[in-house]
Amino acid sequence: MNAVAEAIAFDLASQKLRELNQFLHGDLGMVKQVRVLNPDGAHSIAVGVNAPVTINIAGHAGYYAAGMNQLADVDIAGNAGPGVAENMMSGRVHVHGFASVSAGASAQGGLLIVDGDAGLRCGISLKGGDIVVGGDVGAFSAFMAQAGNLVVCGDAAENLGDSLYEAVIYVRGKVKSLGADAQFEPMTDADHVTVAGLLKQAGLTHDPKEFKRIASARSLYHWNADANQEY
């Protein structure tokens, strides 16, 4: 490898994952692009990156790909395992296939794009990041989501937005059921602008007016002894 090159490649068929991550955690010098070959579903690829570098993962990634991402632009040319972009702070992570459970969990900033479907608990405990899913999302997506936006271009499974706080969910397709304290609300002009902007960043052309808004009813914000644990 040449540390002053603008682009380099790591082949995980012959190089250790630790070597890749140690490089990404160090002084990248003039390197602006890193290509990861033969990932073969390895776990924790490109975790904890804190540099404005483009990382192209040429295949499927395992658990926690691009976790704790800051500043980096990570493209995954395949599917991603559980916890992709978990606790992302900034930057962009783009999964060109499908994402497993807990995609974008606890993301505090940045943008996660999933071209296909996302599994259970997509956006769980979202804390300010944005997620755009081109397909469907699984049950309990945006569970306890506190801030940020989840845009779902397909359908949503049961208990969407359970125990939702101040995050907002936009769904184009069908919603099997809403979770506790989540409710449909009218779309506003500001919502249309928000959805249009996120769709544009994701390279999608859906009409924002086709989306429905789901937000918190705020009935769980304060303890209600008369509710008898039923909401």
CATH at residue 125: 2.160.20.60
Angle, CA 100 vertex, CA 95 and CA 102 arms, to 5°? 100
Give the model's pLDDT for residue 3: 45
Asked if the structure places residue 19 within a domain, the reply is: no
Asked if the structure places residue 141 within a domain, the reply is: yes
Inform me whether the pLDDT recorded for 95 exceeds 70: yes
Instruction: Give the mean pLDDT of 129-152.
Output: 98
Asked if the structure places residue 17 within a domain, the reply is: no
Give the model's pLDDT for residue 220: 79
Question: Six-digit token pair at 32?
Answer: 């602006």
Asked if the structure places residue 21 within a domain, the reply is: no
Using alpha carbons, select from 55, 57, 8 the residue that is nearest to residue 37. Answer: 57
Number of domains, the chain = 1
Contact in structure between 86 and 69 (CB atoms under 8 Å): no
Q: pTM value? A: 0.94
Distance CA 5, CA 2 (A): 5
Least confident window among 9-13, 18-22, 226-230 = 226-230
Inform me whether the pLDDT recorded for 4 exceeds 60: no
Asked if the structure places residue 7 within a domain, the reply is: no
Contact in structure between 180 and 160 (CB atoms under 8 Å): no
- Please count the other Cβ atoms lying within 10 Å of the Cβ belonging to residue 204: 16
Asked if the structure places residue 5 within a domain, the reply is: no
Helix (H) or strand (E) holding 128: strand 127-133
Domain residues for the domain of 196 are 38-227
pLDDT digits (tens, 9 = 90+) for 181-204: 999 999 999 999 999 999 999 999
Contact in structure between 58 and 21 (CB atoms under 8 Å): no
Asked if the structure places residue 183 within a domain, the reply is: yes
What is the CA 149 to chain-centroid distance, rounded?
10
pLDDT bin (cut points 50, 70, 90) of residue 177 is very high
Using alpha carbons, select from 103, 47, 100, 56 the residue that is nearest to residue 77. Answer: 56
Contact in structure between 154 and 135 (CB atoms under 8 Å): yes
Least confident window among 31-45, 123-137, 216-230 = 216-230
Asked if the structure places residue 77 within a domain, the reply is: yes
- Please count the other Cβ atoms lying within 10 Å of the Cβ belonging to residue 175: 19
Give the model's pLDDT for residue 94: 98
Radius of gyration of the chain (CA): 18
